[in-house]
Structure 1
């Protein structure tokens, strides 16, 4: 009886690149946040892919600085325990 063949899937480089970009953006945002305990990094699971598709050619750290405070409709995911921010423009730029 032969051993079952090991099936391997090729690495998904595009997915790895997207996740690395989103992670850099999220950690840069967290570093800026004056109240990082109120920030839900899980919120970037929802917001990150949207930003990546729109801004993947840009530096994620620079973009985090540029967009900080402008999370728009994603505010409720990033800050689930806070009310709506008065500084939030409601848009993504």
Structure 2
């Protein structure tokens, strides 16, 4: 093999699993959201890994139902056009 050829990196199964979990959670949240156009799926890039680390053993769809409406400090990332959440302790 020449030095310019790259060997493919082995698949990162842990990363794939985390991304699949976060994606399921985000899409379940979006399905519940009565105004999905106001939801920024990009916000789950920030919130998703936090949830995954804390709840990775749980069903992401069930967790989305359980947490819907309680996004706390992540509200500003999920709903950038809406301002503050009604559950924001600073309001």
TM-score using structure 2 length: 0.90
Report the aligned-residue RMSD: 1.5
Cα deviation 1:34-89 (Å, max 9, x = unaligned): 00000000000000000000000000000000000000100000000002121x26
Report the counterpart of residue 70 of structure 1 in structure 2.
Answer: 70
Equivalent-residue separation in structure 1 for 2:82 and 2:56 (angstroms): 29
| Structure 2 unaligned residues grouped into runs of 5+ | none
Cα deviation 1:20-42 (Å, max 9, x = unaligned): 00000000000000000000000
Q: Which aligned segments of 4 or more residues in structure 1 are displaced greater than 2 angstroms?
A: 2-6
Report the counterpart of residue 26 of structure 1 in structure 2.
Answer: 26
Residue correspondences, number: 88
TM-score using structure 1 length: 0.88
| Structure 1 unaligned residues grouped into runs of 5+ | none
Report the counterpart of residue 47 of structure 2 in structure 1.
Answer: 47
